Structure 1
Amino acid sequence: MKLLIIEDEASIMDRLCRLVRNILGDSLQSLETATTLPEARKQLDQAQFDVLMLDLNLNGQDGFELLKKLSSRAFHTIVVSAYTQRAIEAYDLGVIDFIPKPFDEERIKQSFKRILGSDTQRSHFAKFLAVRNHGRIELVPIQDIEYIQADGPCSLIAQKDGSLRSHDKMLKDLHQLLPPQFDRVHKSYLANLESISGLYNGGNHKHTLTFPSGRDIPLSRSKAKELRNKLES
Structure 2
Amino acid sequence: MKVLIVEDVTLVADRISDLAKKYLDNCIIKVSHTLEDARYCITEEIYDLLFLDLNLNGENGFELLKSAAAESFQTIIITANREKASIAFDFGVLDFISKPIVEERFKLSIERFLNGHSSHREQLKYLTIKSKGVIRLIKIQEIEFIKASGNYSEIHTIENQSFLHDKNLEKLTKILPDSFIRIHRSYIVNKVKINKVFKHGGGKYSIELMSKEKVSLSRTMYKEFFSDSS
TM-score range, shorter chain: 0.7 to 0.9
Give the match for residue 216 of structure 1: 214
Name 1:99's counterpart in structure 2: 96
Aligned in 2, Cα 1:149/1:141: closer, same or farther, shift over 3 Å? same
- The residue number in structure 2 matching 1:182 is 180
Say yes or no: does 1:82 pair with 2:80. yes
> What's 1:203 paired with?
201
2:57 counterpart (45, 56, 59): 59
Q: 1:1-233, aligned counterparts within 5 Å?
A: 1-26=1-26, 28=27, 30-44=28-42, 47-50=44-47, 51-73=49-71, 75-95=73-93, 97-101=94-98, 102=101, 103-114=105-116, 119-121=117-119, 124-225=122-223, 227-228=225-226
Letter in 1 for 2:141: Q
Q: Distance in 1 between matches of 2:179 and 2:9?
A: 39
Task: After TM superposition, give the deviation of residue 193 of structure 1 in Å.
Answer: 1.3
Q: TM-score when scaled to structure 1?
A: 0.78
How big is each residue's C-alpha offset from its partner over 1:175-197, in whole Å with a ceiling of 9 and x where there is no partner? 34333322233344321111112
How many residue pairs get aligned? The number is 224
Distance 1:42 1:33 in 2: 12
Structure 1 stretches of 5 or more lacking a match?
none
The 3 A distance-change label for structure 1 pair 122 and 166 is: same
Q: Distance in 1 between matches of 2:126 and 2:171?
A: 14
1:231 Cα deviation from its structure 2 partner: 6.3
Report the 3-state secondary structure (helix = DSSP H, G, I; strand = E; otherwise coil) of the residue aligned with 2:31: strand
Q: Tell me, what secondary structure is at the counterpart of 2:178?
A: coil
Contact 2:34 2:56 in 1 (8 A): yes
Q: TM-score, normalised by structure 2?
A: 0.79
Q: Is 1:75–1:169's contact at 8 Å kept on the other side of the alignment?
A: no
Q: Structure 1 residue 70: deviation in Å? A: 4.2
Amino acid at match of 1:105: K
Secondary structure class of the residue paired with 2:62: helix
Summarize the Cα distance change of 1:154–1:21 in structure 2 as closer, same or farther, 3 Å threshold. farther
Q: 1:110 to 1:74 in 2, by over 3 A?
A: closer
Deviations 1:160-219 (A, max 9, x none): 233332223343443343333222333443211111121001222222111233432222
Q: Is the CA contact (8 Å cut-off) linking 1:198 and 1:210 kept in structure 2?
A: yes
Following the alignment from structure 1 to structure 2, what is the Cα–Cα distance between the partners of residues 23 and 154?
35
Structure 1 vs Structure 2: percent identity of aligned residues?
33
CA distances 1:94-120 after superposition (whole Å, capped 9, x unpaired) = 43x122223322322322443xxxx33
Tell which deviates more after alignment, 136-145 or 8-17: 8-17
Deviation by residue 1:72-99 (Cα, 9 ceiling, x = unmatched): 456543322232323342222243x122
> Residue 84 and residue 111 in structure 1: after superposition, are their counterparts in 2 closer, same or farther (change >3 A)?
farther
2:15 aligned counterpart, secondary structure: helix
